[in-house]
């Protein structure tokens, strides 16, 4: 990614603005950095445009590490040592293409940087041999080369920005992710970092910062979509000696990992956004509430906070402007509901993470009863560039009421799972098929679940929707934090609804009755639909039908009366799937079958008498003694005894057992 990717100023102006930041901070750097700053080539050197020896970048975000990047890193270092090669190894965050991890990029002096995919430990040595020793680019495992005007390109190798995964993206928040050493503040500054904060606190008043945010049209990226500038303004307008700023990094939606990637890959961007926000509302204390399951992100935060403090960009008397800010990292213990702002506040206060009634809103009475703003990670990561480049730069992109970009986490049955950032208004089709590369194994696209448990499922008919806050709400989904779980034809939508209801009823805090008691009954109703008649006793069938009758009524009451957002949106997985996949529900209910073949209890096993030779193998292996028949004559399955285990299918050598 080019450092001046925003392109609102000329290359030269941009470089000067970066140098100006270094200049302001120069006294506070360690001696070795100060020496580097003397060089006329300081920016190209720090940005690694000007290299004296090869650099090997290993993606060691959580996704990379999960795919084996730790081992790759170890082997790479060993290789350099064994071969006495002078080269730098840089650990970077996730570039977004999680499916291809571990990603290794190599840059030789004067040449562009090249990315390779799936470089597991066994492939590392061959790659390094080929590129570093022989200066030959192997075609297998190649992703592409980064574009850099001042460097010599490799011939016949595609540019990453032309790669179908990256080409349709607009990477603002993720600009540095996977590119820079996330815990080196000089790299962040060399790419325009901290210009926003410096501008805010040295040239702008607090109301001006709020106004700028409001003008930009930035809306909360955590789900609700409330105008960030308005939230800040409300907290600024509330009188109070002590105010707090909270960054909500308690990312809990299944299939969402945007916040983690930003904090792992570019934590300074968050810290800068947080500092600007705290300045805007007059807060001297900020909390980052982050789930304890993100240890790497927490490590990075601790280190970057230390560096920012050293440079006077955090702590006491920031940039000598009389503005103080302490950031405290608060680890969440893994409750989904703690992403809800009032529950989060309770949790920070040391209480049980349960929501409080609003009003009063946190901007009036929040943490410890003081005016408090709570913003999500992605929201704050947008802030530095908005201040540095001005609101018009930001709101030039997007739809009428949703400005800027949105990061989505693509997962599920999609070819390229990963993290993508697109301009608001990009169609679902572009995201899923162009960027995501469509469905795995050439299967049919069936649905995409957007917005986590509170969101909804959309269908092929919605692929042309230009994704923004309003368009998603219109079709019963929501932006949420940006998780997109893609499903193919082999997914049963009743099963999906069941999964999310199970999640919600387990993650409900248990405080308000409709959410606590209602969601468990909704789950039970779904479970009954997918249970086989043969496992029912007594009044079970009656209860099954009664449940279906009251499902809608129950959903309505839960929506109407629940205390917090979790409860109010708890019935969405059911209502959403019911809206677009009613036929599938009806097949489960009336025909007692699962069209996708997922709900095992509803599968019907039959023996084709034409194919059956009467070998008796199935009958011998049936654990329920449900198969009858004399040797050498076709067998048959007693439906009421069959438990649907599928053993007969597995053992039949004549493919005589059919499953419907």
Partner 1 sequence: MVNINVNDRIVKAQPGEYILQVLKREGIRVPTLCNLPDLFPSGACRLCVVEIEGMPGLVPSCAYPVSEGMKIRTHTPRALRARKTIIELLCANHPDDCLYCVRNGNCELQNLAEELGVRERRYSGKKSEHKIDTSSPSIVRDPNKCILCGKCVRVCEEIQGVSAIDFVKRGSQAYISPEFNDGLNVSTCINCGQCIAVCPTGALREQSSLKEVTEAINNPEKIVIVQHAPSVSVTLGEEFGLKAGQDVMGIMTAAFRRLGFDRVFDTSYSADLTIMEEAAELVERIKSGGTLPMMTSCSPGWIKFVEQFYPEFIGNLSTCKSPQQMLGAIIKSFYAEKQGIEPSRIFNVAIMPCTAKKFEAERPEMAQNGLPGVDAVLTTRELARLIRMRGLDLRTLEPEGSDTPFGERSSAGKLFGVSGGVMEAALRTAHFMLTGQELEMDRIKPLRGLDGIKEFHVQVAGIELGVAAVSGLSNARKLLEQIKKGRKDIHFIEVMTCPGGCIAGGGQPYSSNPEIIKARMKALYEIDRDAVVRTSHSNKFIQRLYDEFLEKPLSHKSHELLHTHYQSRKN
Q: Which residues of this chain interact with partner 1, rule CB under 8 A? A: 335, 337, 352, 354, 356-357, 359, 504-514, 516-521, 524, 543, 546-547, 550, 553-554, 557, 559-563, 568
User: Quick one: 49 or 519, whose CB is closer to partner 1?
Assistant: 519
Shortest distance, CB of residue 351 to partner 1, whole angstroms?
Answer: 9
User: Quick one: 307 or 562, whose CB is closer to partner 1?
Assistant: 562
Q: Are 552 and 509 in contact (CB under 8 A)?
A: no
User: Quick one: 513 or 628, whose CB is closer to partner 1?
Assistant: 513
SS3 per-residue string spanning 620-650: HHCCCCCEECCCCCCCEECCCCCCCCCHHHH
Helix (H, G, I), strand (E, B) or coil at 90: strand
Shortest distance, CB of residue 245 to partner 1, whole angstroms?
Answer: 24
Taking the CA atoms of the chain, what radius of gyration do you get in angstroms?
Answer: 28
Q: How far is it between the farthest Cα atoms of the chain?
A: 94
Q: Are 318 and 324 in contact (CB under 8 A)?
A: yes
CA distance 375 to 373: 6
Shortest distance, CB of residue 555 to partner 1, whole angstroms?
Answer: 10
User: Quick one: 295 or 510, whose CB is closer to partner 1?
Assistant: 510
Helix (H, G, I), strand (E, B) or coil at 252: coil
- What region does 7 belong to: left with phi over 0, alpha with psi -120 to 50, or beta? left
User: Quick one: 28 or 546, whose CB is closer to partner 1?
Assistant: 546
User: Quick one: 3 or 514, whose CB is closer to partner 1?
Assistant: 514
User: Quick one: 341 or 507, whose CB is closer to partner 1?
Assistant: 507
Shortest distance, CB of residue 565 to partner 1, whole angstroms?
Answer: 11
User: Quick one: 314 or 367, whose CB is closer to partner 1?
Assistant: 367
Shortest distance, CB of residue 357 to partner 1, whole angstroms?
Answer: 4
User: Quick one: 248 or 519, whose CB is closer to partner 1?
Assistant: 519
Shortest distance, CB of residue 234 to partner 1, whole angstroms?
Answer: 17
Beta strands per DSSP E along 25-137: 55-59, 88-92, 104-107, 113-116
Shortest distance, CB of residue 128 to partner 1, whole angstroms?
Answer: 49
What's the burial of 77, exposed, middle or buried (CB within 10 Å: 0-12/13-18/19+)? middle
User: Quick one: 3 or 565, whose CB is closer to partner 1?
Assistant: 565
CA distance 259 to 443: 30
Q: Are 627 and 636 in contact (CB under 8 A)?
A: yes
User: Quick one: 1 or 344, whose CB is closer to partner 1?
Assistant: 344
Please list the alpha-helical segments (H only) found in 191-293.
195-203, 206-216, 228-237, 258-265, 267-281
User: Quick one: 518 or 629, whose CB is closer to partner 1?
Assistant: 518
User: Quick one: 337 or 419, whose CB is closer to partner 1?
Assistant: 337
Shortest distance, CB of residue 353 to partner 1, whole angstroms?
Answer: 9
Closest CA to 319 of 279, 288, 286: 279
Shortest distance, CB of residue 335 to partner 1, whole angstroms?
Answer: 6
Shortest distance, CB of residue 349 to partner 1, whole angstroms?
Answer: 13
Angle in degrees, CA 281, 285, 290, rounded to 5: 105
| Both tokens assigned to 72 | 């790759």
User: Quick one: 238 or 304, whose CB is closer to partner 1?
Assistant: 238
| Both tokens assigned to 235 | 């907290």
CA distance 415 to 436: 6
Shortest distance, CB of residue 525 to partner 1, whole angstroms?
Answer: 8
CA distance 233 to 206: 9
Shortest distance, CB of residue 559 to partner 1, whole angstroms?
Answer: 7
Q: Which residue has the tokens 């409330």?
A: 226
Q: First and final CA of the chain: distance in angstroms?
A: 51
CA distance 653 to 372: 68
Shortest distance, CB of residue 62 to partner 1, whole angstroms?
Answer: 25
Q: Are 573 and 501 in contact (CB under 8 A)?
A: yes
Torsion of the alpha carbons at 322, 323, 329 and 335, rounded to the nearest 10: 150
Shortest distance, CB of residue 334 to partner 1, whole angstroms?
Answer: 10
Closest CA to 554 of 539, 542, 570: 570
| Both tokens assigned to 323 | 């503005």
Torsion of the alpha carbons at 232, 235, 240 and 241, rounded to the nearest 10: -30
Q: Which residue has the tokens 């947080």?
A: 274
Residue 209 CB partners (closer than 8 Å, separation 6+)? 200, 232, 276, 279, 280, 387
């Amino acid at each position: 990614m080019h450092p001046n990717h925003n392109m609102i100023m000329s290359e030269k102006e941009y470089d000067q603005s970066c140098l100006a930041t270094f200049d302001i901070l120069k006294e506070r750097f360690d001696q070795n950095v100060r020496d580097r700053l003397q060089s006329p080539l300081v920016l190209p050197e720090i940005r690694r445009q000007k290299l004296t020896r090869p650099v090997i970048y290993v993606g060691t975000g959580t996704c990379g590490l999960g795919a084996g990047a730790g081992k790759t890193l170890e082997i790479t270092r060993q290789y350099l040592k064994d071969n006495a090669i002078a080269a730098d190894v840089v650990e970077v965050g996730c570039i977004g293409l999680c499916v291809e991890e571990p990603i290794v990029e190599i840059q030789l002096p004067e040449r562009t940087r090249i990315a390779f995919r799936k470089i597991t430990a066994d492939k590392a040595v061959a790659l390094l041999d080929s590129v570093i020793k022989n200066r030959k680019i192997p075609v297998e495992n190649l992703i592409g080369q980064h574009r850099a005007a001042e460097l010599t390109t490799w011939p016949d190798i595609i540019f990453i920005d032309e790669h179908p995964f990256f080409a349709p993206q607009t990477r603002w928040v993720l600009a540095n992710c996977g590119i820079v050493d996330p815990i080196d503040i000089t790299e962040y500054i060399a790419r325009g970092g901290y210009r926003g904060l410096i501008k805010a606190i040295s040239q702008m008043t607090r109301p001006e910062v709020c106004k700028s945010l409001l003008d930009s049209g930035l809306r909360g990226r955590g789900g609700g979509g409330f105008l960030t500038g308005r939230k800040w303004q409300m907290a600024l307008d509330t009188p109070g000696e002590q105010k707090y700023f909270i960054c909500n990094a308690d990312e809990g939606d299944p299939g969402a990992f945007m916040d983690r990637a930003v904090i792992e890959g570019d934590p300074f961007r968050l810290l800068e956004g947080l500092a600007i926000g705290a300045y805007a509302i007059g807060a001297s204390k900020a909390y980052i509430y982050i789930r304890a399951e993100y240890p790497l992100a927490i490590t990075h935060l601790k280190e970057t906070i230390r560096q920012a403090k050293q440079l006077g960009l955090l702590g006491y008397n920031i940039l000598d402007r009389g503005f103080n800010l302490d950031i405290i990292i608060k680890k969440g213990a893994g409750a989904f509901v703690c992403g809800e702002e009032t529950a989060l506040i309770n949790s920070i206060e040391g209480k049980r993470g349960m929501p409080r009634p609003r009003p009063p809103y946190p901007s009036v009475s929040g943490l410890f009863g003081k005016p408090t703003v709570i913003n999500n990670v992605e929201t704050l990561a947008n802030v530095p560039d908005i201040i540095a480049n001005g609101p018009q730069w930001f709101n030039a992109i997007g739809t009428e009421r949703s400005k800027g970009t949105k990061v989505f986490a693509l997962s599920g049955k999609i070819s390229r799972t990963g993290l993508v950032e697109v301009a608001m208004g990009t169609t679902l089709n572009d995201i899923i098929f162009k960027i995501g590369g469509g469905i795995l194994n050439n299967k049919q696209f069936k649905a995409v679940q957007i917005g986590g448990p509170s969101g909804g499922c959309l269908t092929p008919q919605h692929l042309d929707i230009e994704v923004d806050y309003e368009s998603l709400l219109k079709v019963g989904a929501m932006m949420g934090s940006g998780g997109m779980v893609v499903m193919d034809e082999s997914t049963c939508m009743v099963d999906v609804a069941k999964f999310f209801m199970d999640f919600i009823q387990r993650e409900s805090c248990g405080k308000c009755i409709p959410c606590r008691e209602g969601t468990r009954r909704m789950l039970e109703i779904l479970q009954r639909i997918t249970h086989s008649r043969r496992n029912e006793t007594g009044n079970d069938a009656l209860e099954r039908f009664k449940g279906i009758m009251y499902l809608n009524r129950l959903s309505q009451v839960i929506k109407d009366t629940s205390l917090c957002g979790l409860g109010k949106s708890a019935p969405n997985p059911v209502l959403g799937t019911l809206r677009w996949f009613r036929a599938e529900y009806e097949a489960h209910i009336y025909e007692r079958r699962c069209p996708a073949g997922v709900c095992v209890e509803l599968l019907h096993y039959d023996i084709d008498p034409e194919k059956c030779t009467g070998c008796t193998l199935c009958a011998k292996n049936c654990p329920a003694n449900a198969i009858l028949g004399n040797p050498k004559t076709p067998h048959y399955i007693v439906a009421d005894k069959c438990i649907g285990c599928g053993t007969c299918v597995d053992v039949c050598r004549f493919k005589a057992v059919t499953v419907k």
